[in-house]
Structure 1
Amino acid sequence: MKEEDVNRCQIQEWYPKFKPVSIRTVIHELPESFVEYLVDDSGPFLLPLSISGEDALPNRIHNPIDEEDYQVSEGPGDESEQPPLPPSFPELELNIKESINTLGGAVFPKLNWSAPKDSAWISTSGTLRCTSFSEIALLLRSSDSLVHDLCHAYDSCIDKTLLRPPSFFLALRKWYSSFLPEMEFRCFVRGQQLVGISQREVTTFYPTLLEEKNDLELLIKEFFTENVRQKFESENYTFDVYVTKDGRAKILDFNPWGAFTLPLLFTWEELEQNLEEVENVVDFRIVESQCGIRPGLKTAVPQDYLDTGPGSGWDQFLRKADKELQQQKMAPGNGA
Structure 2
Amino acid sequence: MKQSDILPCQIQQWYPRFHSVSIRTILLPLPESFIDFLLDDGGLFLPKTNEDEDALPARVKITCPDLQAEDYHPWQEEEEEEEGGGQHPANAATFPDLEKAVKESIKTLGGFVFPKLNWSAPKDTAWISTNGTLKCSSFSEIVLLLKASDSLVHDLCHAFDSCEDKTLERPSQFYLALRKWYDLRPEMEFRGFVKGGVLVGICQREVTGFYPALLEKLDQLEDSIFDFFREYISEKFETLDYAFDCYVRKDGKVKLVDFNPWGGFTLPLLFTWEDLGSKYVEADERINVMVANRALKGDLRLTDKTELNLRLREEGYKLDFRVVESEGCVQPSLRASSGVPYDYIDTGPGSAWDEFLRKADEEIKRQANAAGA
Same fold (TM over 0.5): yes
CA deviation after TM superposition for structure 1 residue 201, in Å: 0.2
Q: Within the alignment, does 1:292 sit opposite 2:291 as a pair? A: no
Q: Within the alignment, does 1:186 sit opposite 2:191 as a pair? A: yes
Map of 1:283 onto structure 2: 320
Structure 1 segments of 4+ aligned residues over 6 angstroms from their partners: 65-68
1:297 to 1:190, Cα distance in 2 relative to 1, 3 A: farther
5+ residue gaps, structure 1, are: 73-81, 305-336
CA contact (8 A) 1:202 1:294 kept: yes
CA deviation after TM superposition for structure 1 residue 106, in Å: 0.2
CA contact (8 A) 2:8 2:14 kept: yes
Choose between structure 1 and 2: higher helix proportion. Answer: 2
Map of 2:265 onto structure 1: 260
Superposed counterparts of 1:60-209, under 5 Å: 60=58, 69=78, 71=80, 83-177=89-183, 179-209=184-214
CA deviation after TM superposition for structure 1 residue 2, in Å: 1.3
Partners in 2 of 1:154 and 1:175 — Cα distance?
29
CA contact (8 A) 1:55 1:132 kept: no
Map of 2:14 onto structure 1: 14
Using structure 2 for the length normalisation, give the TM-score. Answer: 0.74
1:303 to 1:223, Cα distance in 2 relative to 1, 3 A: closer
Partners in 1 of 2:146 and 2:337 — Cα distance?
15
CA deviation after TM superposition for structure 1 residue 61, in Å: 5.2
Using structure 1 for the length normalisation, give the TM-score. Answer: 0.82
Residues 91-131 of structure 1: per-residue CA shift (max 9 Å, x gap): 10010000000000000000000000000001110000000
Map of 2:84 onto structure 1: none
CA contact (8 A) 2:124 2:340 kept: no
Q: Give the match's secondary structure for 1:171.
A: strand
Partners in 2 of 1:139 and 1:49 — Cα distance?
16
Partners in 2 of 1:277 and 1:132 — Cα distance?
50
CA deviation after TM superposition for structure 1 residue 52, in Å: 1.8
Q: Give the match's secondary structure for 1:194.
A: strand
CA contact (8 A) 2:118 2:174 kept: yes
Residues 265-307 of structure 1: per-residue CA shift (max 9 Å, x gap): 0000110011112454210000011011011353376349xxx
Q: Give the match's secondary structure for 2:99.
A: helix
| Letter of the 2:245 counterpart | D
Partners in 2 of 1:282 and 1:303 — Cα distance?
32
Q: Give the match's secondary structure for 1:173.
A: strand
Task: Let me know the Cα RMSD of the aligned residues.
Answer: 2.2
5+ residue gaps, structure 2, are: 64-73, 82-87, 287-316, 342-373
CA deviation after TM superposition for structure 1 residue 51, in Å: 1.1
Map of 2:38 onto structure 1: 38
Partners in 1 of 2:179 and 2:59 — Cα distance?
27
